[in-house]
Chains A and B, each alone.
Chain A
Amino acid sequence: MTALLELTGVSAAYLKARILFDIDLAVAEREVVALVGRNGAGKSTTIKAVMGIQVSRTGAVRFAGRDVSRLPAYMIARLGIGYVPEERRVFPDLTILENLEVGRQPAREGAPTWTPEALFEIFPNLAELRHRPAGQSSGGEQQMLAIARTLMGNPRLVLLDEPSEGLAPVIVEQMAVAVGKLKQEGLAVLLSEQNLRFAGAVADRAYVIESGHIRFEGPMRRLLDDAALRSAHLSV
């Protein structure tokens, strides 16, 4: 299995504070991979390190066989990596439709092409709000919008940073369904999660990260079945 995304020996620092140490990580085509760990372990930093935003990093990041570690974020996005940030970062003054327009990129070979209408089928809540400023929608709606906006770029891989954070349980369930649909459409997903139940429901494979080091890599199943492993690295 050749990897779509491959991180080799990646270290990252935020200003002068080093967060990641020598991370190896890979995501295959059509694979959903969860990055789990406690608060502050380095999950979000790993995701930002892929995009090269807000952190300075060393090491190799390869996407679809190409070294992207020296590219600016917009070039990485144009190669087919979609980034959904933890804080969602929707554009509050723009309507839902306008938010989607910002994410729009030309169609891409080897990736599904999205339109606003197709996205409204996956996220029906957004359809009724399409002409409303995004700032007026709820946290769950903004999370859906953030994902939909990223899909407008027709990515091959989606980076989801803490997609279930701060959402009501019923919305978390909808998120899980949505991630399943992305996988069905042929997308690869790398998501960071504190919520092991959510990660367990959607991911094929998992990495456990602790204090900036990868402590475990293997099938999601094994992590769910191994109570000792979980309590060593994940329990608070």
Chain B
Amino acid sequence: MGFILVQILTGLSSAASLFLVAAGLSLIFGVTRVVNFAHGSFYMLGAYIGLTLVALFGDLFGRGHLAFWSALLCAALAVGAIGALVEIVILRRIYRSPELFQLVATFGVILVIQDLTLWGWGPEDQLGPRAPDLRGAIMIMGEPLPRYDLVLIAAGPVVLLLFWLLLNRTRFGILVRAATADREMVGALGVNQAWLFTGVFFLGSFLAGLGGALQLPKGGANLLMDFGVLAAAFVVVVVGGMGSIAGAFLAAVLIGQLQAFGVLFIPQSTLVMMFLVMAVVLVIRPFGLLGRPELVGQGRQMLDDPLRPTGWRFKALALALVALLAAAPLWLGDYGLVLLIDILILALFATALHAIIGPGGLVSFGHAAYFGGGAYAAALLVKYAGTPMSLNLVLAPPAAALLALAIGWFCVRLSGVYFAMLTLAFAQIVWSVVFQWGTVTGGDDGLLGIWRSPWASDRVAYYWLVLACCTAGILALRHGLHSPFGYALRAGRDSPLRAEAIGIDVRRQQWAAFTLSGAFAGLAGGLYAYAKGSVFPNEMAIARSFDGIIMVFFGGVQQLSGPLAGAAALTWLKDILFRLEMWRLLLGLAVIAVVLLFPQGLAGFLKARFGRFFGIRPELSA
């Protein structure tokens, strides 16, 4: 009995930080309609800054209560200020842009913060300081419970109460709630939205920072905290209902309890349990426990020009490009060839992702799951079945497609940012399974010895194979998007109701497209595994998904030729940046700069400049 009680209390204490992060995320989204992917980074910053301030305040004012708690509070305030700064400098300029721009921009922020944190505090995991007078444990019915857990247990409800008072009893809160419903109308009534948004960002980031600082005595600080908490916070927000603070609390408690009890029975099962809860909730209540149907469009749809078959000049150019690439081994060195293999594989991956983001209108933030899925399918077949390369490359796409089929079934029930969060959360779960199930997948050590068949063991031969596969894959995807299948997909994106009315099952169409996209991503993954001779969980990680997003984004969302340009640009950029110490920082800044400077993407920019020559009509400015 005492044991169960202590487990419940442990669950409640681990819910606290999760709730703070999710509440901030939910608040920011509710008002600004921006899903702040950098929210996990704010959480991490809260922990690191807290670490420094606790030490500093301890030296200055003695190691008493006042010094400790005010250090945590100041850390949270500092993170709030950083969040406000990010809003003012970056996000304020792109509120009217499509969701993808905001997601990419906040991802740029993640990269910048990762490197700055590494630079400031070093790569080692940091132990958290103990709270004064809260060392040790108390006994509850003969079972120990860390004293500090009591603070965390209290923190959740206290913050919930303060939040409620703020939202219901202050003018700021009333404006926040009004803006959540209709921000344009709030502006028309004379409220300066810019400062309201900045205030909301401050508050949301403050909560994330507080969450990070408060968990210090329990969890310390490390550089993986950002993505770890991000996926969990997404699950909490999706389960609780976007924009609902009470829902976030409820969901955080639920997930906390699951983790506390799941650990007892099947230690590795917590993520799978989280997945199950999310799946059940989404099937019963697609918008979460206390959520409401998503508000669609607040004046930021883009008018896209219809896709047109390209002119003969463009086709000639494409043909010339393929010919040039085929002849590459004649004029390119070994290193260049390796780079080209990467570019081609990533171009296929990006093209597959683009099919679902551009024409499908669904921003998948977890496509690494299918890329990695294909790679692991091939690698596992080598390890456990010993099948030859050609067969494995044929089997990798269907394996990835199967994964996409299962995950897509849940995801296409939602759209917009929910879809993005859900795909990311699922991908994170797939990654965790691979990472944790070491006996089968090799865990962190990956799977080595994925050797190519003798006929392709030569680098040039494999390069030609990759070129053939990727060209065929990209052409097949292009063809699909110019076929009735593609028309129906775009019809569903542009006007779901009208598409339904003329007999298109939009959801099924999206599901099929998602699965197809997964299959091609799987092909890219399979080719990648053989190119490297090994597979690591990294191929499934969030960073890989973001690579795909950035390639699509660099290339321009509504450009079919974009992913190729994007893949080349990113690979080239990374190749240069990797040699530098703070490449993430530079990449992040580059990404942010592209968002702010080239809202059409690189290929869109080129098209606007040179498109006429290739028989492509220039884009009308929306």
How many angstroms from the CA of A16 to the CA of B178 in the assembled complex?
30
A135 nearest CB across to chain B (Å)? 9
Question: Which of the listed residues A51, A73, A99, A150 has the most CB atoms from chain B within 10 Å of its own CB?
Answer: A73
The answer to whether B185 and A94 have CB atoms under 8 Å apart is: no
The answer to whether A102 and B175 have CB atoms under 8 Å apart is: yes
Q: Contacts A16-B620, A54-B299, A89-B185 given: A94-B177 contact, CB under 8 Å?
A: yes
Partner of A98 from the list B174, B186, B191 (CB cut-off 8 Å) is: B174
How many angstroms from the CA of A89 to the CA of B185 in the assembled complex?
7
How many angstroms from the CA of A73 to the CA of B171 in the assembled complex?
20
Determine whether A15 belongs to the interface, using a CB cutoff of 8 Å to chain B: yes
Determine whether A29 belongs to the interface, using a CB cutoff of 8 Å to chain B: no
The answer to whether B178 and A91 have CB atoms under 8 Å apart is: yes
How many angstroms from the CA of A160 to the CA of B189 in the assembled complex?
13
A91 nearest CB across to chain B (Å)? 5
How many angstroms from the CA of A208 to the CA of B4 in the assembled complex?
76
The answer to whether A91 and B181 have CB atoms under 8 Å apart is: yes
User: Which chain A residue has the least Cβ–Cβ distance from B191?
Assistant: A74
Determine whether B597 belongs to the interface, using a CB cutoff of 8 Å to chain A: no
Determine whether B484 belongs to the interface, using a CB cutoff of 8 Å to chain A: no
Which residues does chain B contribute within 8 Å of A54, judged by CB atoms?
184, 299
Partner of B622 from the list A15, A98, A149, A153 (CB cut-off 8 Å) is: A15
Partner of B303 from the list A16, A53, A91, A92 (CB cut-off 8 Å) is: A16
Partner of A83 from the list B171, B181, B188, B620 (CB cut-off 8 Å) is: B188
The answer to whether A102 and B184 have CB atoms under 8 Å apart is: no
How many angstroms from the CA of A73 to the CA of B190 in the assembled complex?
7
Task: Name the interface residues of A77-99: CB closer than 8 Å to any CB of B.
Answer: 77-78, 83, 85, 89, 91-94, 98-99
User: Which chain B residue has the least Cβ–Cβ distance from A74?
Assistant: B187
User: Which chain B residue has the least Cβ–Cβ distance from A154?
Assistant: B190
How many angstroms from the CA of A101 to the CA of B620 in the assembled complex?
42
How many angstroms from the CA of A213 to the CA of B291 in the assembled complex?
45
Determine whether A72 belongs to the interface, using a CB cutoff of 8 Å to chain B: yes
Determine whether B192 belongs to the interface, using a CB cutoff of 8 Å to chain A: yes
Which residues does chain A contribute within 8 Å of B622, judged by CB atoms?
15-16
Determine whether A116 belongs to the interface, using a CB cutoff of 8 Å to chain B: no
How many angstroms from the CA of A105 to the CA of B185 in the assembled complex?
15
Determine whether A200 belongs to the interface, using a CB cutoff of 8 Å to chain B: no
The answer to whether A94 and B188 have CB atoms under 8 Å apart is: no
Determine whether B193 belongs to the interface, using a CB cutoff of 8 Å to chain A: yes
- Interface SS of chain B: helix
Which residues does chain A contribute within 8 Å of B303, judged by CB atoms?
15-16
Partner of B171 from the list A16, A92, A101 (CB cut-off 8 Å) is: A101
The answer to whether A94 and B174 have CB atoms under 8 Å apart is: yes
Determine whether B182 belongs to the interface, using a CB cutoff of 8 Å to chain A: yes
A150 nearest CB across to chain B (Å)? 7
User: Which chain A residue has the least Cβ–Cβ distance from B189?
Assistant: A103
The answer to whether A150 and B189 have CB atoms under 8 Å apart is: yes
Which residues does chain B contribute within 8 Å of A102, judged by CB atoms?
174-175, 178, 186, 189, 191
**Tally of contact residues, B, Cβ under 8 A:** 21
The answer to whether B181 and A105 have CB atoms under 8 Å apart is: no
Which residues does chain A contribute within 8 Å of B186, judged by CB atoms?
102
Which residues does chain A contribute within 8 Å of B620, judged by CB atoms?
16
The answer to whether B181 and A153 have CB atoms under 8 Å apart is: no
- Could you mark each residue 96-117 of chain A with 1 if its beta carbon is under 8 Å from any beta carbon of chain B, else 0? 0011011111000000000000
B353 nearest CB across to chain A (Å)? 28
How many angstroms from the CA of A99 to the CA of B174 in the assembled complex?
8
How many angstroms from the CA of A72 to the CA of B5 in the assembled complex?
56
Which residues does chain B contribute within 8 Å of A105, judged by CB atoms?
189-190
A128 nearest CB across to chain B (Å)? 21
The answer to whether A78 and B190 have CB atoms under 8 Å apart is: yes
Which residues does chain A contribute within 8 Å of B189, judged by CB atoms?
74, 77, 83, 102-103, 105, 149-150, 153
A211 nearest CB across to chain B (Å)? 23
How many angstroms from the CA of A123 to the CA of B234 in the assembled complex?
45
- Could you mark each residue 588-622 of chain B with 1 if its beta carbon is under 8 Å from any beta carbon of chain A, else 0? 00000000000000000000000000000000101
The answer to whether B178 and A73 have CB atoms under 8 Å apart is: no
A35 nearest CB across to chain B (Å)? 18
B27 nearest CB across to chain A (Å)? 15
Task: Name the interface residues of A50-71: CB closer than 8 Å to any CB of B.
Answer: 51, 53-54
Q: Contacts A85-B185, A101-B171 given: A153-B178 contact, CB under 8 Å?
A: no
Question: Which of the listed residues B177, B184, B191 has the most CB atoms from chain A within 10 Å of its own CB?
Answer: B191
The answer to whether A74 and B174 have CB atoms under 8 Å apart is: no
User: Which chain B residue has the least Cβ–Cβ distance from A79?
Assistant: B190
Task: Name the interface residues of B541-566: CB closer than 8 Å to any CB of A.
Answer: none
How many angstroms from the CA of A74 to the CA of B177 in the assembled complex?
18
B610 nearest CB across to chain A (Å)? 24
Q: Contacts A92-B181, A93-B181 given: A73-B187 contact, CB under 8 Å?
A: yes
Partner of B178 from the list A15, A77, A94 (CB cut-off 8 Å) is: A94
Question: Which of the listed residues B175, B181, B303, B620 has the most CB atoms from chain A within 10 Å of its own CB?
Answer: B181
How many angstroms from the CA of A94 to the CA of B189 in the assembled complex?
15
The answer to whether A77 and B171 have CB atoms under 8 Å apart is: no
How many angstroms from the CA of A150 to the CA of B186 in the assembled complex?
11
Which residues does chain B contribute within 8 Å of A78, judged by CB atoms?
190
Task: Name the interface residues of B156-190: CB closer than 8 Å to any CB of A.
Answer: 171, 174-175, 177-178, 181-182, 184-190
User: Which chain A residue has the least Cβ–Cβ distance from B195?
Assistant: A74
The answer to whether A77 and B190 have CB atoms under 8 Å apart is: yes
User: Which chain A residue has the least Cβ–Cβ distance from B184?
Assistant: A53
The answer to whether B188 and A53 have CB atoms under 8 Å apart is: yes
The answer to whether B192 and A91 have CB atoms under 8 Å apart is: no
How many angstroms from the CA of A83 to the CA of B186 in the assembled complex?
11
Question: Which of the listed residues B171, B178, B184, B303 has the most CB atoms from chain A within 10 Å of its own CB?
Answer: B178
Q: Which residues of B contact A (CB under 8 A)?
A: 171, 174-175, 177-178, 181-182, 184-193, 299, 303, 620, 622
Question: Could you list some 13 contacts between A and B, CB below 8 A?
Answer: A53-B187, A74-B192, A77-B188, A91-B177, A93-B177, A94-B177, A98-B174, A98-B177, A102-B175, A102-B178, A105-B190, A149-B189, A153-B189
Task: Given A16-B620, A16-B622, A73-B188, output 8 extra A-B contacts at Cβ < 8 Å.
Answer: A51-B188, A74-B190, A77-B187, A78-B190, A89-B185, A93-B181, A102-B189, A104-B171
Q: Which 5 interchain pairs have the tightest Cβ spacing?
A: A77-B190, A102-B178, A89-B185, A91-B178, A74-B187
